[in-house]
Homo-oligomer: A and B are copies of this chain.
Amino acid sequence: MSESLGIIEPNFFHYKEDFHLESGKLLKGFKIIYETYGSLNENKSNAILICHALSGNHHAAGYSKEDQDKAGWWNELIGPDKAFDTNKYFVVSLNNLGGCHGSSGPGFINPETGETYGKDFPLITVKDWVKSQNLLREYLGLDFWYAVAGGSLGGMQALQWTIDYDEHIKKSVVIAAAPKLSAQNIAFNEVARQAIVTDPNFDKGNFHPKRGLGLARMLGHITYLSEEMMKEKFGRDLKKEKYDYGFDVEFEVESYLRYQADTFSEKFNAHTYLLMTKALDYFDPSRDFGNDLNKTLEKTNSDFLVLSFSSDWRFAPERSKEIVNALIASKKSVSYAEIKSSQGHDGFLFPDERYVKSIQTFLENE
């Protein structure tokens, strides 16, 4: 077992001004929960921002007081001597706006009504998140992030950073991401959303659309795993010795998915889930640049590391290469690696040796 950061206490950033959203709506201030790992150096030049994906949160590494058995979601990659080496870097990880782990979101009280926001919490875009993360940067007294890094939806934030706040970022680590969602990507998100909003318990007072959220999670989960990995892990293994010819769990893979649905839907906020899928759908930075990704990335001075995973079919290597090709066309500094992995989209969560080395090398080069 690799060295751990121990128990981490979260911090809070209260922003009290009006925060204008891309949708035209307004948040009258917000709260962001975040954690830090490692120490800020004297020059304040070693801060790395970690951005989370759909169901992630601020608790990326170490252990929390409440749950000392389960490490943060990127604990394998953040810590002493790890990919994001906390002996060298000051790592900052937040829960995004709209989240359900401590930052302002659908579970908060709407000051205008005195009730929880629920579906009235405004939709947040990747651009909005990056804007709020830039305010967090100011609050922390940093001139710039040495790097912004994330996988999946987190990688999209790392990319958006270089477009919107290029003067405040040196390096961008864009992992298992895409420059925008495909029709198929949106289609899967739409099924997940329909599962939630058509649940009769959706947005009914204190009821929770547990079934709908569970379905959304099951479906999402299939897209996170590679077909190859599902074959290795479950194949056609049965729960019992022979077929039951009924609707109880028959195959191991069914049991696994039902378990995923149950545990996730107990603890996650359905409105946050909806909001995160919409942020994914809307993400399309080249839309403001005549749908020209080269042009979109033309002005950035960041160094880029783009990483993809061979068996990822949610955001396949081809999608990462679209980013890489645009960066090359715009004569930017970019390193790219396709990591051989059977883990599918989830590959970004595991400390594959070449993966870790790629990040370390990229961060070390000044």
Contact = CB atoms under 8 A, between A and B. Distances in A.
Nearest to A246: B123
Given A182-B227, A231-B183, A247 B274 contact: yes
A222 B123 contact: no
Interface string A201-241: 00000000001001100110010010100110111100000
A69 to B, nearest CB: 28
A200 B197 contact: no
Interface stretch (A1-9, A101-109, A144-152, A187-195): A187-195
A227 B187 CA distance: 10
B186 A215 contact: no
A59 interface: no
A181 B215 contact: no
A228 to B, nearest CB: 9
Contact of A123 (B123, B218, B245): B245
Interface string A68-87: 00000000000000000000
A281 interface: yes
Interface string A4-23: 00000000000000000011
A281 B247 contact: no
Given A215-B215, A250-B281, A230 B191 contact: no
A248 to B, nearest CB: 11
Main secondary structure of the interface of A (DSSP, over half): helix
Interface in A227-277: 227, 230-231, 233-236, 243, 245-247, 250-251, 253-254, 257-258, 261, 274
A194 B233 contact: no
Contacts of A123: 245-246
A187 B281 contact: no
A225 to B, nearest CB: 8
A288 B137 CA distance: 64
A282 interface: yes
A303 interface: no
B181 A227 contact: no
B188 A222 contact: yes
Contact of A251 (B211, B233, B281): B281
A281 B122 CA distance: 42
Nearest to A125: B245
Contacts of A125: 245
9 smallest CB-CB distances across A and B, nearest first, come from A23-B245, A183-B230, A183-B234, A198-B211, A184-B227, A190-B254, A183-B253, A123-B245, A191-B218
